C-alpha cells in the first residue's frame, strides 16, 4: 500500500511539475510577442495576465467585471500616420490569447463611433454571458483607427479625416484580424482553425460589412441590432428629436427640457396600451409581445378627450409618439429609414436614455441629441459639418435639404451611406465558403428598428432561395438596444454559431434565453426560447408562464 501511495504521489508531483513548466513556457512565449509578429505594427504591450476579472468598458457600470482565464494580453498600433487634420492616427488593437486555447478566434465588434479600445473578451453586450475568452477562444478588439478626443465633441472629430472615416467603416478590420491570427500562430504554433466576428450596434454593422466586403476573413458572424443603415437611422431619430424639442417644457435655464417632453407616466400609458392590444396574441398574457409583426396598436386610442388631462396623451404628445413609430418622411411622403415596432419595452430606462434622456438635464443628455447628433454631421455628412451647438443644429436640420449629404461623397470625403452602410445582399462568396450568419434584435430597440433588420433578412430570402441555410434572425421581445428592458436578454449565440459552422448541429431553430435579475425586470429568471424568424414563441396552453418548456415556436 505504501508503495502504491508513493507512486501516486510521484505521479501527482510530476503532473504538477509539467503544468508549472507549461505555464512558464506560456509566459515566456507571451513576453516574446513584444518583439512583434506578422502584421503586428508597433507592439505596445505583451504581458501575461493571471485568471481573475476584467473591468468592462462603458456603458457597463463601474465595478462590473467579466471573468477571464490565464491569458496573454497584447496591445499594439498598426498604420500609424498623420491625418489631413494634422493629428496622429493609428489602428489600435487588443488581443487576448488564453493559456488553454480551443483553436478558435473571435473578433469583437465595436460600438457607437468607436474611438475606444475595449477589452477583447468576445462579448456581445455587457449582460450576455459567457464571454468567448473564458470559453477558450482567442479574442481581438480595435478602436477602429482613432481615439476619442476630450470634450463634448471629441468623439466625433475623427470624421474630419477621410481615412479615419474609412477605417471606422471597414478598413481597420482586415489588418487587426491578420495580426490576431499571426499572433495566435506564433504563440500556439498553429493558426486558428475557425474565425468568427461578433458584435452589436456598430459591431453588428461591422459583422454584416465583413460578409459583404471581406467574405474570406470569417467562418461565421453574429450581427446584433445592426446599424447597417446608421446614417439614415440617425436622420430618422433627429426628426424624432425635433418633434420632442417642439413639445418639451422649458427647463430652469429657459431651454427645452427634452427629458420631460414625455413623462414616465406617458411612456407607461403607451406601453400598457401596447400590452393590452397585443400581449395575448401568443396565447399567454405575460407582459411580453412575442408577435410584433401582428401587433396593430394605434396610440390614437390614448388621445385625451375633451376635459381630460390625465391618463391620456395630448394632441402634441400623440403626434410625437406616432412619428417615433411611423418613421419620418420627406416632402414627397417617402420613408427616410423604417417604421418601428410597438413593444412594451418602450417604458424601460434604456429606451428613455436614447430618446429622451434625464428630465431637467441641462444640457439635454438624450443619446440621440449627443451621439447621433454628433455623428451625423461630423462622421456621415460629406463634406463634414462642424456644429458646436448640437441641439441648435438638430432644430435647424432639414430632411429634404440634408439627407443627400449622407448619400454621396464630396470634397474628398466618402459619405456615410458609401463607407458606413452595409446594405449589399451579394453574399455569394461568403455563402459559397460555408459562412453562417446569426442576427438578433430587440423589438424595443430605441435607436435601430428591428423592422429594418427584418427587411434585410427578407431581401436575403428573395435573393437566395436557401437563405435559411446560412442566415437566421432572432427577435428578442422587450429588449432595448443590445440588452436591457423587460426581456429575456441573456443568451449564448456564440455556441449556437460555432456548433452550426462546425456541422455539429443544424441551423438553430431556437436559442434559450433568460431574464436577468435586475430591478427593472418584472420576472427575473424567466426563460423563453428565441425563435428563428418568422416563427413566434407561443404558449402551449398550460403550465408555468415563467418556464420556456411550456412554450413552442410556431
Within-domain flag for 516: no
| In a shared domain, residues 113 and 256 | no
SS3 of 44, please? strand
pLDDT per residue rounded down to tens, the chain (554 residues): 566 656 665 555 555 665 666 789 999 999 999 999 999 999 999 999 999 988 887 767 777 788 999 999 999 999 999 999 999 999 999 999 999 999 999 999 999 999 999 999 997 654 555 699 999 999 999 999 999 999 999 999 999 999 999 999 999 999 999 999 999 999 999 999 999 999 999 999 999 999 999 999 999 999 999 999 999 999 999 999 999 999 999 999 999 999 999 999 999 999 999 999 999 999 999 999 999 999 999 999 999 998 887 899 999 999 999 999 999 999 999 999 999 999 999 999 999 999 999 999 989 999 999 999 999 999 999 999 999 999 999 999 999 999 999 999 999 999 999 999 999 999 999 999 999 999 999 999 999 999 999 999 999 999 999 999 999 999 999 999 999 999 999 999 999 999 999 998 899 999 999 999 988 899 999 999 999 999 999 999 999 999 999 999 99
Query: Half-sphere exposure of residue 492, counting CA atoms within 13 Å on the CB side?
Result: 9
SS3 of 2, please? helix
Within-domain flag for 402: yes
For residue 459, give the C-alpha cell: 431581401
Q: Which residues contact 432 (CB under 8 A, 6 or more apart)?
A: none
Residue 538, number of CB atoms within 10 A of its CB: 17
Within-domain flag for 148: yes
Enumerate the H helices of 189-229 as residue ranges: 202-213
Region of 485 please: left (phi>0), alpha (psi -120 to 50) or beta: left
Give the domain range for residue 391.
231-261+296-340+356-419
Quote the pLDDT of residue 538: 97
| In a shared domain, residues 235 and 174 | no
Q: Which residues contact 26 (CB under 8 A, 6 or more apart)?
A: 48, 70, 72, 99
Residue linked to cell 409618439: 321
Domain count for the chain: 2
> Rounded to an integer, what distance in angstroms lies between the CA atom of residue 267 and that of residue 346?
7
Residue where a domain terminates, one of 419, 441, 456:
419
Residue positions annotated with a catalytic role: 201, 445, 481
Enumerate the H helices of 52-159 as residue ranges: none
Is residue 512 within 8 Å of 491, Cβ to Cβ?
A: yes
Within-domain flag for 13: no
SS3 of 4, please? helix
> Rounded to an integer, what distance in angstroms lies between the CA atom of residue 508 and that of residue 506?
6
Tell me which residue of 415, 418, 419, 485 sits closest to 450, measured CA to CA.
485
| In a shared domain, residues 126 and 243 | no
Is residue 431 within 8 Å of 465, Cβ to Cβ?
A: no
Is residue 355 within 8 Å of 264, Cβ to Cβ?
A: no
Q: Using omega within 30 degrees of 0 as the cis cutoff, is the peptide bond preceding 488 cis?
A: no
| In a shared domain, residues 247 and 394 | yes
Quote the pLDDT of residue 6: 66
Q: In angstroms, how far is CA 176 from the centroid of its own chain?
A: 19
Residue where a domain terminates, one of 419, 448, 465:
419
Within-domain flag for 287: no
> Rounded to an integer, what distance in angstroms lies between the CA atom of residue 355 and that of residue 82?
37
| In a shared domain, residues 257 and 167 | no
Within-domain flag for 67: yes
Residue linked to cell 427645452: 256
Quote the pLDDT of residue 3: 60
| In a shared domain, residues 378 and 320 | yes
Residue where a domain terminates, one of 386, 419, 452:
419
Is residue 429 within 8 Å of 216, Cβ to Cβ?
A: yes
| In a shared domain, residues 236 and 120 | no
Tell me which residue of 98, 56, 103, 110 sits closest to 73, measured CA to CA.
98
Within-domain flag for 542: no
| In a shared domain, residues 303 and 400 | yes
- Report the relative pairing of strands 65-68 and 104-108 from DSSP bridges: unpaired
| In a shared domain, residues 91 and 236 | no
> Rounded to an integer, what distance in angstroms lies between the CA atom of residue 520 and that of residue 43?
43
Query: Containing H/E element for 502?
Result: none
Residue 468, number of CB atoms within 10 A of its CB: 16
Within-domain flag for 539: no
Phi and psi at residue 368, to the nearest 5°: -70, -15
Is residue 302 within 8 Å of 316, Cβ to Cβ?
A: no
| In a shared domain, residues 173 and 41 | yes
Query: Containing H/E element for 129?
Result: none
| In a shared domain, residues 154 and 242 | no
Residue linked to cell 428598428: 449
> Rounded to an integer, what distance in angstroms lies between the CA atom of residue 329 and that of residue 315?
20
Is residue 196 within 8 Å of 221, Cβ to Cβ?
A: yes
Residue linked to cell 434604456: 350
| In a shared domain, residues 169 and 237 | no
- Report the relative pairing of strands 510-514 and 527-531 from DSSP bridges: antiparallel
Amino acid at each position: 500500500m505504501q508503495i502504491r501511495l508513493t507512486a501516486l504521489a510521484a505521479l501527482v508531483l510530476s503532473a504538477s511539475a509539467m503544468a508549472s513548466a507549461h505555464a512558464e513556457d506560456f509566459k515566456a512565449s507571451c513576453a516574446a510577442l513584444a518583439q512583434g509578429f506578422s502584421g503586428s505594427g508597433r507592439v505596445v504591450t505583451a504581458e501575461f495576465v493571471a485568471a481573475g476579472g476584467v473591468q468592462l468598458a462603458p456603458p457597463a457600470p463601474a465595478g462590473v467585471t467579466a471573468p477571464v482565464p490565464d491569458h496573454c494580453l497584447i496591445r499594439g498600433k498598426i498604420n500609424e500616420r498623420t491625418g489631413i487634420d494634422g493629428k496622429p492616427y493609428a489602428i489600435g488593437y487588443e488581443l487576448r490569447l488564453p493559456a488553454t486555447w480551443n483553436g478558435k478566434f473571435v473578433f469583437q465588434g465595436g460600438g457607437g463611433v468607436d474611438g475606444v479600445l475595449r477589452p477583447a473578451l468576445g462579448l456581445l453586450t455587457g449582460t450576455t454571458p459567457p464571454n468567448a475568452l473564458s470559453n477558450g477562444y482567442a479574442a481581438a478588439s480595435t478602436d477602429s483607427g482613432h481615439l476619442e478626443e476630450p470634450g463634448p465633441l471629441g468623439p466625433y472629430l475623427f470624421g474630419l479625416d477621410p481615412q479615419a472615416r474609412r477605417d471606422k467603416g471597414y478598413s481597420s478590420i482586415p489588418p487587426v484580424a491578420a495580426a490576431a491570427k499571426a499572433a495566435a500562430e506564433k504563440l500556439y504554433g498553429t493558426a486558428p482553425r475557425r474565425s468568427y466576428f461578433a458584435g452589436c450596434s456598430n459591431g453588428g454593422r461591422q459583422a454584416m460589412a465583413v460578409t459583404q466586403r471581406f467574405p474570406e476573413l470569417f467562418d461565421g458572424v453574429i450581427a446584433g441590432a445592426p446599424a447597417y443603415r446608421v446614417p439614415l437611422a440617425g436622420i430618422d431619430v433627429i426628426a424624432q428629436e425635433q418633434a420632442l424639442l417642439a413639445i418639451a417644457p422649458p427647463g430652469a435655464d429657459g431651454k427645452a427640457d427634452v427629458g420631460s417632453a414625455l413623462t414616465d407616466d406617458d411612456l407607461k400609458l403607451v406601453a400598457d396600451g401596447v400590452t393590452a392590444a397585443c400581449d395575448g396574441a401568443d396565447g399567454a398574457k405575460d407582459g411580453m409581445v412575442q408577435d410584433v409583426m401582428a401587433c396593430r396598436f394605434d396610440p390614437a386610442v390614448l388621445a385625451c378627450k375633451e376635459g381630460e388631462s390625465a391618463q391620456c396623451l395630448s394632441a402634441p404628445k400623440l403626434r410625437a409618439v406616432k412619428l417615433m413609430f411611423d418613421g419620418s418622411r420627406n416632402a414627397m411622403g417617402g420613408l427616410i429609414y423604417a417604421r418601428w415596432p410597438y413593444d412594451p419595452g418602450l417604458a424601460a430606462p434604456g429606451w428613455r436614455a436614447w430618446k429622451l434622456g434625464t428630465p431637467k438635464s441641462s444640457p439635454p443628455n438624450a443619446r440621440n441629441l449627443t451621439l447621433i447628433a454628433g455623428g451625423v454631421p461630423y462622421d456621415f455628412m460629406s463634406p463634414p459639418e462642424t456644429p458646436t451647438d448640437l441641439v441648435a443644429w438638430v432644430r435647424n436640420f432639414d430632411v429634404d435639404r440634408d439627407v443627400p449629404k449622407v448619400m454621396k461623397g464630396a470634397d474628398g470625403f466618402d459619405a456615410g451611406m458609401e463607407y458606413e452602410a452595409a446594405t449589399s445582399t451579394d453574399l455569394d462568396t461568403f455563402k459559397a465558403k460555408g459562412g453562417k450568419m446569426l442576427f438578433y434584435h430587440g423589438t424595443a430597440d430605441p435607436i435601430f428598428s428591428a423592422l429594418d433588420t427584418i427587411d434585410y433578412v427578407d431581401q436575403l430570402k428573395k435573393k437566395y432561395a436557401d437563405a435559411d441555410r446560412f442566415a437566421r434572425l432572432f427577435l428578442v421581445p422587450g429588449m432595448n438596444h443590445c440588452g436591457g428592458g423587460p426581456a429575456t436578454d441573456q443568451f449564448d449565440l456564440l455556441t449556437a454559431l460555432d456548433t452550426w459552422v462546425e456541422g455539429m448541429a443544424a441551423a438553430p431553430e431556437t436559442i434559450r434565453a433568460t431574464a436577468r435579475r435586475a430591478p427593472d425586470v418584472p420576472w427575473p429568471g424567466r426563460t423563453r426560447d428565441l425563435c428563428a424568424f418568422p416563427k413566434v414563441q407561443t404558449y402551449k396552453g398550460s403550465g408555468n408562464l415563467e418556464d420556456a418548456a411550456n412554450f413552442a415556436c410556431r
